[in-house]
Structure 1
């Protein structure tokens, strides 16, 4: 029987996929966890209990039919979280509901796959089954205007091309060979229906009709110049008709939208799902290409050997287009802007992205959920290879992705934070949370669960909002909540000196109760929703749903001269837990004392502890030799590392 001492200095791998359980040779194994539930991995290496959530309000109407969170940053001091339900928009600011706007014309059926972008005070919302909507914030938090966008011009496309018979039209005479040209026919053939249609000429020349002057005269803009200004015989020219606006109730509307380099870009539509359109520079609602100048409107279609319905479009280092069949971008040389002459699409990868899950940008690259919903990938530009490269972010934690339906990112603002990528899973209502520090190649996933399910997540600069389902008096309700660093419970109510708390939104539920930081006995919220504190608070209180915390190490990989001992029976004799500002911790079902007894120690808040706590006397042998850290009270916990002494039985 041999004894060993081992230490896990950090948890920067986060929760490891069960498929990698036997890969003890991986460096990631030594820093991994088998379970990381309701904790966040810190950049310094430790894991800390996640914040609780503060209850804001119940969503009225029909949120069960669809809900969507959309951030809106109006100014440095004014930012909002908008929550859309059927024909209604709830406006949140500073973690509180400030306004409700009805009549949005955005129905439940549009919410799952709608897309949006913002510029200054204007939010543009698109869906292929609905005319693009413009939402403008006015002079105050309660002043919002919602209207359908009126375009100055819309691009055209020949869904059914018809060649107009010009055999009896006589000859045609151009006033110039290129640019804006006046065309005069020998006979009266032109009508207002021909505006937007095309004239083709032999031996060369193609022009689009932009204005009807008379039945014999039209103004055109050349797409390919005429050979000269001599008369064109009736047998040498033809009139192409059948062109119509690409966005309409008949043909559908844009699928995705973004601003990039002074243009408004739409990606895909119901009838043309693989086409990208860009407005004129500075004229966001003018999409009709006229002269082909550098600031004119642009258009390109993804013509590849696969079907590429555009799922998202985003302004990054380049204009990036995500489709069901692959990822593309618009190449630009140096600082050169996009122009009609060089607007084409180049392939990045052939993964495909999932519709309805908006892509998110990091400093290092762009993150997206692959089409089947089973992998999280990143596209990043390589300065050495001068191209985009794709990597699997979820390679070691793919089990946490369970049919993702929403995704957002909270960027780090302090040295003890990583970027947090939050992904809502449809299958079980959990949150897959990836703690990312890409500069140091840190990818540390964990899982957030709650009493109920997560339906959506959105980030207002630093505030993380969620829509959850909870049970209230036996009924399922939809609540808007926000993660709060001062909260230790979910869907909680934080109070001051009141002897009671109004928990009407959780009638019948068992809740944690804290008074001045002291943990009282759990209570079942009675009818009427009033929870009464046993010890009325002098300064602060909190009531809310319990949060289940679990930190479980990988099976101990004790190495001896004969090789690894992962399959032998082991017993953990002693655990040294390195803690920071911790009030409660349980190791392998053994509570670890934190409170120092003395005068006035009871019935008061536990003083946070920083240092090493030693636990002896852990009984029983197992082949895994794992350490499980949990909690039995809603208090602070930050685990920096674990050192343990292990006895290995080399028999069978």
Structure 2
């Protein structure tokens, strides 16, 4: 057939999986590429060299991986926090590592290296709440750039419930573990009181009801559900429910009043101090226990009377966080409440603080009181993440849920509605918010989904963003960060040490994945505002001079190298130092805007063949673009599987200095006396290169920029012929 010219006007579909190679009928195939490496797609459709990385400094401990967490007080005071093994450092966005006394400022933190990936956090002004299932919720506060504090959150009232008592020092021995009456249970220490008659003893699947108390160490029980064995270790068995006896308050207490709570049989224990008693529609916090029948406390909610409450008409409640119950694994803020969820005992439980009182989880029936609800589903899955977008988004390993308070109403203790939206499940990677969507990683770690509300269906949906690029995230995603400016990009650290970038703009129909190499191993990434753009900071593990090192590196659009430095000399220098971090490595150099080739770092410096006034030095990084075979309709049908021959390829570029197409260099240089002794100018417009040879069902085109120079491709025209 005659020669044809076809144009690819954009790359908004990004890098396409080999599994989609035959889907020439899909529009996104026409807008994709077989490979986009070390490139970024912009929302206008072009593809450009990805930012290089600027060397900031070594991590706190070279032997340990670090986690970067953004801390944004405002757009003028934002930080990347480096969490390492028991230590935190501070990096000022747009600047560098914060020093104190000439050395990096460090704060001791309670988290080990292996615990870092399980941290969940949410920020309110200069305070960050940090949750971990093995630690109480902590509060991190910025006092000054070089003065930070981290402590357990000073809760005035923790969430509480009737959870019984765990005996952490006494073992329990049953005379018989099977169902039946007249069994005996013997404790290794004085554990039982008279009012324990009627309470339950539980361990795993076993349940026994106390029918008589013989002594502090022996009780008679009726086993209603068999126990796994007769011997139960200390800390494993629970005396459930509240003391089963009459309680009489000394007064009809009002909030703040001190009163006495008297039992008709021994029931108070010294460990009850700090617990709450719900009686006569009020609440009392125990402050002291003077005997087994007498305790004093402070009224937290008004009692409606001072009459005696019979057994079962009052409750002894204690904190549901801590000890064997575990601590919340997720945390967020919603409608002036601190929201926490997911503990060992209540894996699908979610708690909300009182309105406007982040440290008070007093539960009640008033709209401003704290609340608790359980996310019900057909499988028990720990709450992995909590987020706030129109509703409280609750992500578990088994599915995605929303919690609302009804139509256009805030959530209150009496109207919380938890609804299942999808059953994909999420993993430990912290989601990011992009517009009105929550971008999360599906349970297996390889699919990235966007959960958002759809008015047409009045529901939340979570479409797969990796459908056409599943190969990029195949190794698994381990962390994500969202860069809103200058382009909308989700950066994802992968388990194979690469980084993936997702340019996403729903309004423009852009969902474009690209892959990125570091001549090393990406371990963490963070995004924080720095002026008019969002800054991306990364932790990169490298092998330098035979040693394993870890560096903090900033993705910088002014850099075209990795782990790079810039230097200036008014008089000019041939010897340039500051390269100790790349000792023994081969680096590329841009001097006064001109590529100088490759040099080996020795003694922390290199020597150029000529004097230079401004240099950029670092590890080479090459952007690569490989196109997909074109498709046109021929007289006999499709061009696929037919022989293809390219005659000429025309590139539309913007502010570009050189490129290589299928091994042939395009320089874009323009001649003239005014250009002598100056760096090669950037070029915008069309440039072409010829090609020869037939290929079976293919038209391989690889476009690279091996020099540390600008590159931005807007469109590609193929002039070609196809024959059967």
TM over 0.5: yes
Q: How many residue pairs align between the two structures?
A: 631
Label 1:626 to 1:219 Cα distance change in 2 as closer, same or farther (>3 A): same
Single out whichever of 451-460 and 74-83 deviates more from structure 2: 74-83
- CA distance change for structure 1 residues 453 and 216 in 2, over 3 Å: closer, same or farther? closer
Deviations 1:37-92 (A, max 9, x none): 1111111111111111100001132x543311111112342111111111211211
Taking a change above 3 Å as real, the CA distance of residues 411 and 199 of structure 1, as seen in their structure-2 partners, is closer
Q: Is 2:480 the partner of 1:480?
A: no
Task: Verify the 8 A CA contact 1:164 1:239 in the aligned structure 2.
Answer: no
Tell me the SS of whatever aligns to 2:548. strand
Hey, what's the Cα distance between the residues in 1 that align with 2:509 and 2:556?
A: 28
- The corresponding residue for 1:530 is 605
Match of 2:434 among 348, 358, 362: 362
The more displaced of 615-624 and 273-282 is 615-624
Q: Is the 8 A contact 2:87 2:109 kept in 1?
A: yes
Quote the residue 1:549 is aligned against: 623
Give 1:38's aligned residue: 38
**Is the CA contact (8 Å cut-off) linking 1:198 and 1:206 kept in structure 2?**
no
Alignment deviations for residues 173-213 of structure 1 (CA, whole Å, 9 cap, x no partner): 9988999999986846563656746679xxxx887654579
Alignment partner of 1:283: what SS? coil
1:121 aligns with 2:126: yes
Q: Which runs of 5+ in 1 are unaligned?
A: none
Among candidates 494, 497, 506, match of residue 582 of structure 2: 506
Q: Which residue in 1 is equivalent to 2:114?
A: 109
Q: What is the rounded CA distance, in whole Å, between the counterparts of 1:222 and 1:150 in structure 2?
A: 17
Distance, in Å, in 2 between the alignment partners of 1:371 and 1:168 is 45
- Per the alignment, residue 458 of structure 1 pairs with 526
Structure 1: distance between partners of 2:244 and 2:510: 73
Shift of the 208–146 alpha-carbon distance from structure 1 to 2, 3 Å rule, reads closer
Please state how far the C-alpha of 1:332 moved relative to its aligned partner. 3.0
The equivalent residue for 1:306 is 379
Deviations 1:152-179 (A, max 9, x none): 1222344457984489956969988999
Q: Distance in 2 between matches of 1:310 and 1:381?
A: 20
- Output the aligned Cα RMSD: 3.0
Unaligned runs of 5+ in 2: 100-104, 167-194, 199-242
Cα distance in 1 between the residues matched to 2:247 and 2:391: 47
Within the candidate set 559, 562, 566, 1:490 is matched to 562
Closer, same or farther: CA 393–178 of 1 in aligned 2, 3 Å: farther
Give the Cα–Cα distance (whole angstroms) in 2 for the partners of residues 177 and 123 of structure 1. Answer: 37
Instruction: Tell me, in whole angstroms, the C-alpha distance in 1 between the residues paired with 2:476 and 2:318.
Output: 39
Find out whether 1:266 has 2:335 as its counterpart: no
Per-residue CA shift, 1:272-302, capped at 9, x if unaligned?
A: 222111111222112232x421111111122
Asked if the contact 1:321–1:328 (Cα under 8 Å) also holds between the matched residues in 2, the reply is yes
CA distance 1:248–1:332, shift in 2 (3 Å): closer
Q: Provide the rounded CA distance (Å) in 1 between the counterparts of 2:684 and 2:653.
A: 5
Bigger Cα Rg? 2
Residues of 2 paired with 1:230 and 1:278: CA distance? 32
Q: Which of 475, 494, 516 is matched with 1:425 structurally?
A: 494
Residues in 1 aligned to 2:244 and 2:344: alpha-carbon distance in whole angstroms? 39
1:246 offset after TM fit, Å? 2.2
Distance 1:490 1:482 in 2: 9
Match of 1:400 in 2: 472
- SS state at 2:114 partner: helix
Q: 1:565 aligns with which of 639, 658, 668?
A: 639
Do 1:364 and 1:439's aligned partners in 2 also have CA atoms closer than 8 Å?
no
Task: Check the 8 A contact 1:190/1:212 in 2, yes or no.
Answer: no
User: Within 5 Å, which residues of 2 pair with 1:163-562?
Assistant: 164-165=196-197, 187=264, 189=266, 191=268, 196=275, 209-211=284-286, 215=293, 237=312, 243-289=317-363, 291-355=364-428, 357-401=429-473, 402-413=475-486, 417=487, 419-426=488-495, 428-461=496-529, 462-497=534-569, 499=573, 500-526=576-602, 528-538=603-613, 540-562=614-636
